[in-house]
């Protein structure tokens, strides 16, 4: 059933200063893609140095 009030994919969803179009779901299985990206990409934590002290962003 079609919702009469939902935006069309071509409608701009931002009220001003930009353009955003809702294309709906474009990935068939987002959970498996997320898991693959999380486990297969070489992620690393950023390090911040403040006042001569280095800290990992995960701490």
Domain ranges of the chain: 1-59
What does the DSSP assignment read for the chain?
Answer: ---TTSPPTTSB--SSSS--B------S-HHHHHHHHHHHS-----EEEETTEEEETT-
More confident residue, 51 or 20: 51
Compute the mean pLDDT over every residue in the chain, rounded to the nearest whole number: 82
pLDDT at 1 over 60: no
pLDDT tens-digit readout, 24-50: 788 899 999 999 998 999 988 889 999
More confident residue, 20 or 5: 20
């Amino acid at each position: 059933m079609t919702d009469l009030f939902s935006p069309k994919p071509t409608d701009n969803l931002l009220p001003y200063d930009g353009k955003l179009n809702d294309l709906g779901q474009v990935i068939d299985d987002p959970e498996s893609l997320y898991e693959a990206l999380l486990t297969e990409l070489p992620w690393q934590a950023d390090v911040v140095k403040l006042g001569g002290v280095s800290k990992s962003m995960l701490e």
